[in-house]
Chain A
Amino acid sequence: MSDAQHEHGHHHREPESVLSLRVRALESLLVEKKLVASEAVDRIVGAYEQDIGPHNGAKVVARAWVDPAYKQRLLAHGTEAIEELGFGGVDLKVVENRPGVHNMVVCTLCSCYPHALIGLPPVWYKSFEYRSRAVREPRVVLREFGVDLPESVEIRIWDSSAELRYLVLPERPAGTEGMSEAQLAEMVTRDAMIGVAVVRPPAPGAR
């Protein structure tokens, strides 16, 4: 079963712009006429953007790192807190990584994802493999992403839905005390906000 079929039973009901509807109508027609394959579009977008789009989410994370009161609001009321920074269009819950707890986001049904904050979902996020294995064997999946967590760390899996999307607030790396909010935002990757990576401290002499 394809992702598109999955999503039929899983309606996205956030307010959608006229332009977005117009583009979906066009894609629907082009796919029907076999002029375009949605998978090819996914691949192309992924290839060109790599990990574009995590900038908004990175700003949210950096603000939370430097402003404890903002962090509290963000964890308590994600949707309202990102609106403070001018981001919206998504009902959001932010989950915090801390010593002993690692959070990871998946959408087991399809590919629900906080677009407004971290751009388009990467191809692997939409894959059946990730959607099933993230729940079944998260520790193994994380190791494949290069995150090797000790057994003592609890892994929490958050299953996104059309109603609620999740964003991981990664741990602020050590050695970043003197960095500005903008510098911090540059370090935050898309994968860290999905919870399949950690934010690495800057390499000595790299700045």
Chain B
Amino acid sequence: MDAVPSREIADMTGATALPRKNGELVFDEAWQGRIFGMTVAMSHDASFEWREFQAQLIAEIAHAEREGESSSYYERWLHAFERLLAGKGLVDPAALAERRHEFEAGHRDDVF
């Protein structure tokens, strides 16, 4: 059920542990909540298993740490999610790049 947080997700530990403050999840910006929600929604719909995403996120974090990148937790999450979607053939990276360009250029402005 959407309404019941999954312990598998909420209680992730180590590098993938969700950022929290006083025990509550912290999304510093709206987009962080959106990317989190999209990832969880697709795992609920069985587009992928949560552990598959988590493995991708672990790899992404390890890569970023190795490279000394200053990217934030949810930025790494976004990269991991995009990679997983591409790897599963769910989203064509070229189509995504084009859509991104449309938003950046202001040709599209869907708000969710």
Q: Do A and B come from one complex?
A: yes
- Chain A residues close to B by CB (< 8 Å): 4, 7-8, 11-12, 17-31, 33, 35-38, 40-45, 47-53, 55, 110, 115-116, 119-120, 186
Neighbouring A residues of B4 by C-beta, 8 Å: 47
Number of interface residues of B (CB under 8 A): 45
Question: Which B positions have Cβ atoms within 8 angstroms of A?
Answer: 2-5, 9-10, 21-22, 24-27, 29-31, 33-38, 40-42, 44-45, 47, 75, 78, 81-82, 90-91, 95-96, 99-100, 102-104, 108-112
Interface residue SS majority, chain A: helix
CB proximity of B21 to chain A, nearest CB, Å: 6
Cross-chain contact of A25 among B24, B37, B99 (Cβ < 8 A): B99
**Which residue of chain B has its CB nearest to the CB of A50?**
B24
Return the 6 tightest CB-CB contacts between A and B, nearest first. Answer: A41-B37, A23-B31, A7-B111, A20-B31, A25-B100, A45-B37
A81: min CB distance to chain B, Å? 20
Which of A4, A44, A186 has the largest number of chain B CB atoms within 10 A?
A44
Partner of A17, one of B31, B37, B47, B110: B31
